[in-house]
Structure 1
Amino acid sequence: MMANETLRGLRRKQRWTQAQAAQQVCAQVLAATGRDPELDANWISRLERGAITWPSGDYRTALCVVFQVGSEAELGLHPKGDAAGASSAQDASSAPADDASSLYADTELSARLARHAAATNVNGLVLEQFDADVERLARDFVSRPLTLLVPEIRGLRTDVFRLLEGRQHPGQTRHLYVLAGWLSGLAAHVSLDLGHQPSASTHARTVVQCAEVAEHPRLRAWARSFQSLAAYWTGDYRQAADLARAGCEDGRGPSSGTITARLLSLEARALAAGGDGRSALRSLALAHEARSSAERDELPGVFAFPEAKQWAYTGTTLLAVGGDEQVQRAIVASNRAVELYQAGAEGDRSSGDLHAAHLDLATAYLASGEVEGAGTELATVLGADQYTASITIRLRKLDTLIGSGPYRDSRPVVDLREHIHEVTARPALVSTPTEPR
C-alpha cells in the first residue's frame, strides 16, 4: 500500500485538517447531488494512506472541485493496481514517447478535458430549489415580517455566492448570477426600507453587475428601476427620471412583464416632483398604455408591478403636477389603488402602498379644503405600529404642508401634528416591510 503524498500535499497547501477537508467534500457532494455522505477525517486519512485509491465517481468529482484540479490523476488517485499508470499520465504530454505512448497521451488529454468540462458543483434540482426560494421570498416580502425574512435572504445569498466560487457549466453559472441578482435586489429593498441609502446603493450596483454577467435584460431593467426609486427618495428627481428612462431601454420587448409600466411610472413621478408637469403627464399616459399590453412578470411580489401599485404612483404624480383638475384626478387614482389592494388577496396586500395611497388622499383633501376627510385618511395611517423609511418621509412632508396651511392652529390639526411627530420619531424598522413608495 503506497501513501498518496499528492493528496496530502494538496490538503496541507490549503492548511486544512483532515476533518476540514472531509467537510469540504461533504458540502460539495451535497450541493451537486442533494445527498449528504457524512464523510469524516478517517476517510481522508484512508485516502492519504493509500487504503482507498479510487473512491466512487461523486466523491472523485467533489475532490477535483474542492482541490481545484482537472483530473483524478492530479489528486494521486488511480484504480487499484494502476499506480504506475496514474503517475505516467501526468507526464505523458511532455515526456518523449513513441507513437503508441503519444496516442495514449492525446487520448488522456481528451478524457481529462471531458472530465473538466463535466465537473460542476450544482445540478438542475439545486437550481430549481433556489428558483422556488427566490420566488417565495419575493412574494412574502410584501406582507411578512422583515425579521423573519432577512436571515433567509442573507443565507441564500451566501449559498449562491459560495457556489459561484466553484465550477459550473456556463448556463448554470448564468443561472446562479441571475439568482444572485434577485437576492441582492431583496437585500437592497431591506436597506431602503430601513432608510440606509448607501447599503441600498451597493446592493443595487451588485444587481446591475450580476445582470451584465448573466446577460439578463429584465434583471438589469429592474435594477435601474430600483436605482431610480432610491434617487427619488433622496430628492434627486433628475437622476431618478434619467435612471428610469435608461431602464426602459432594457425593459421593452417580448416577455418583459410590467417593467416598462413600472419604469414609466417612476419617470412620471420623478418628472412631476422636479416640476416638469407636462412631461410627467405624457409619461404617465405611456405607463398606462404599457400596462394594457404587459405580460406576466418573471417574479411575483416585490419584483412585480401590480395594477394597484400603478394607481398609487399615478395619484402621487398627479398631486405633484398640481392644479384643481389634477388634484381631483389624484383622488380618483388613490381611491382606485386602495380599492384594488383591499380587494386583493391578503398575502399580496402591501401595507406600504396602502399607507402611501391614504397619505396622498389626505394631501389631496387638504388641497381641496376638506380637512375632515384629510383627518380620516391620516388616522388610517397613524394607527400602524411602524413604517418604512419612505412613509416616514411622506408623513413629515404632510406635517409641513399642514403646518403652513390655514387650519394649522385649530385643535384637531394641532392634535394630528402631535401624533405625526410621535410616530415619525420611531426607528424606521418595519414589521411588514414593503418597497419604499
Structure 2
Amino acid sequence: MYSGIGHLIAQLRAERDLSQAQLAQLLAEASGNPAVTRNKISRWEQGRRRPRRYWLQWLAVVFGLSLADLDDLVRIASPTTDTNEAEAIELGQRVAASDVGGRTLEQLELAVDELAIAYPRVQPDLLLLRVRRHLTYVGKLLDARKTLAEHRRLVVTGSWLSLLAATCSIDLADRPAAAARLRTAAQLAEHADHPELSGWALETEAWQAVTDGDYRRAIKLSQAAQAAAPVGSSAFIQATAQEGRAHARLGHTRDTLEVLSRVEHLVAPLEVPDQPEHHYRYDPGKSDAYVATTLSWLGDPGAVPIARQVLTQLESPAHGAVRPRRAATARLDLSLALVASGEPDEASSTTMEAITSGRLVPSNYWRAREVINAIDAHGVPEVAELRDAYESLKAEGASV
C-alpha cells in the first residue's frame, strides 16, 4: 500500500550502506526514542506501514536531508510511465514561450552538476526522483519573465536534466519514458543551439540502441553524435567510444581497433577533470574501462589485464571516489574476458560478485545473462547458482 515511500527509504538506506538494524539504531540515537526497531524499518520498506510524521523528521536527519527535500522525494516516490512521458512532452511544449525573466539560475545549474556527479553511485530510480523534482522547478520557471539570455540558460538546464532523466530511464529499462525524454533533450538542445548537448542526446540514444541489441543503428547514431558535437568535446569522445563498442558487438575487429586508436588519440592530451565522476565530463580513466569492455566483447583475452586494472582503480580510494556501479559492470567485463582466456571458474565467481553486488541495473541484465551463457558453455557446475542469483536479480529489478 505504501510501496513508494518504502522503496525510497530502502534506497536511501542502501545508498548509505546501512543495514535495517543500523538505521534503526541511528534513528533511536537521534530521536532518543527506542521504539524504532529493525522490524519497524522492515515494515516501512515492505510498504506494510507508512512512517508517521514524527519518524519522517528523524529519517531526514539521519539521511542528511532537509525535511522539505524528503517530503519532495516522498511526494514523487511512485511515478508512472505515463506521468514521466507527460512531463517530458509538457516541457518540450512550454519551452517555445519566451516570457522568461530575470531570476538567477545558478542554483539549478549547480544542481545539474551535482546530479551528474551522483550518477555513478546513486541507484537510477532514486536519482530519477531528484532529477524530476528539478525538472518541475524548471517548468515553473519557464512561466516567469526573464531575459533572452536567461531563457537560454534555463532551456540548457532543462535539456541537461531531460538527458539525465532519459539516462536513468534507460538504466531502468523504461523505453517509452526514455524515448520521450531523449526527444525533449534533443528539442531543447536545438532550441538553445547547443551542439554538445545535441551530441550527448544522440550518443545516449546510441547507448540505448546497444542495450537493445540494435548495433548497426548504434553505429549510425554514434557517428551522428560525432558530427553534431564539437570535435574533442566530452560528447564527441564518448560517441567515438560508443561506436567502437557497437562495432565490437558485430565482430568488426578492424573497425573496432581503428576506433579504439581514435579514442586513444583524443584522450591523450586530456587532464583529469576536477570532478571525474561527472557523467558529462570525460574522465581519461573511462578510456581504459571502455577498452576493457570493447575487447571483452570482441572475445580478446587481452582484455583480462586491462579489466583487472580498471576494477582495481574503481574500487581504490587512492584513485578518487569509489564507483560501485561501474565496478559491478567492470566485473562483467572481466568475467567475459576470463571465459575467452579459458578461465571459466574465476569468471563464475566474479560474475556472482557482480550479480549480488546490488549495483547492477536493468540495462545491465543482458550483459550478465551473456556471461552466464558463456560460462555454461564451458560446463562449470556453479552455473545453476548463477542462474538462480540472476533470476532473483531480475525479480528485484521488476519490483522497482
Q: Distance in 1 between matches of 2:317 and 2:221?
A: 31
| DSSP 3-state at the match of 2:145 | coil
Offset, 1:262 = 1.1
Q: Which amino acid aligns with 1:292?
A: A
Task: Encode CA deviations 1:270-308: one digit per residue, 9 max, x unaligned.
Answer: 011123221111011101111113467798622233233
Question: Among residues 254, 264, 267, which one is paired with 1:288 in the alignment?
Answer: 264
Give the fraction of aligned pairs with identical amino acids, expressed as a percent: 28
**Residues 79-134 of structure 1: per-residue CA shift (max 9 Å, x gap):** xxxxxxxxxxxxxxxxxxxxxxxxxxxxxxxxxxxxxx9x85332xx211111111
Matched, 1:419 2:392: no
Alpha-carbon distance in 2 for matches of 1:183, 1:345: 31
Paired amino acid for 1:360? D
Q: Partner of 1:189: helix, strand, or coil?
A: helix
Cα contact 2:172–2:362 (8 A) shared by 1: yes
The one-letter code sitting in structure 2 at the alignment partner of 1:213 is: H
Is the counterpart of residue 138 in structure 1 residue 116 in structure 2? yes
Residues paired across the two proteins, number? 302
The equivalent residue for 2:101 is 121
Query: Is the CA contact (8 Å cut-off) linking 1:315 and 1:360 kept in structure 2?
Result: yes
Answer whether contact 2:344 2:378 (CA < 8 A) is retained.
no
2:334 corresponds to: 361
Q: Is the 8 Å Cα contact of residues 258 and 294 (structure 1) preserved in structure 2?
A: no
TM-score, scaled relative to structure 2? 0.69
Q: Does 1:301 align with 2:271?
A: no
Aligned residue type for 2:268: S
Per-residue deviation, 1:196:
0.8
| Matching residue of 1:212 | 190
| Aligned counterparts of 1:140 and 1:395: Cα–Cα separation in 2 | 24
391-400 vs 160-169, which deviates more? 160-169
Q: Larger RCO: Structure 1 or Structure 2 (Cα < 8 Å, ≥ 6 residues apart)?
A: 1
User: 1:152 and 1:424 mapped to 2: Cα distance?
Assistant: 24
Q: Deviations over 1:131-160 (max 9, x none)?
A: 111111111222134454333311211221
SS at match of 2:315: helix
- Per the TM alignment, residue 383 of structure 1 is displaced from its structure 2 partner at its CA by 2.6
Check the 8 A contact 1:138/1:303 in 2, yes or no.
yes
Q: CA deviation at 1:176?
A: 0.7
Larger Rg: 1
Do the aligned partners of 1:244 and 1:264 also contact (CA within 8 Å) in 2? yes
What is the CA-CA distance between 1:257 and the residue it aligns to?
A: 3.9
> Counterpart in 1 of 2:7?
none
Q: Determine the C-alpha separation between the residues in 2 that align with 1:348 and 1:195.
A: 27
Pairwise CA distance, 1:386: 5.2
State how far apart, in whole Å, the 1-side matches of 2:318 and 2:154 are: 31
Q: How does 1:31-430 map to 2 (within 5 A)?
A: 121-123=101-103, 126-146=104-124, 148-253=126-231, 257-294=233-270, 301-322=278-299, 326-328=300-302, 330-344=303-317, 348-385=321-358, 387-403=360-376, 405-408=377-380, 410=381, 412-427=382-397
The letter for the 1-side match of 2:371 is L
**Contact 1:258–1:297 (8 Å) recurs in 2:** no
Measured at CA, do residues 331 and 394 of structure 1 come closer, stay the same or move farther in structure 2, by a change above 3 Å?
same
Which structure 2 residue ranges, 5 or more long, are not aligned?
A: 1-97
1:17-32 mapped onto 2 (5 Å cutoff): none
Structure 2 CA distance for partners of 1:190 and 1:280, relative to 1, 3 Å: same
CA RMSD of aligned residues (A): 2.6
Determine if contact 1:337/1:357 at 8 Å carries over to the other structure.
yes
State the shift of 1:217 in Å: 1.0
TM-score by length of 1: 0.64
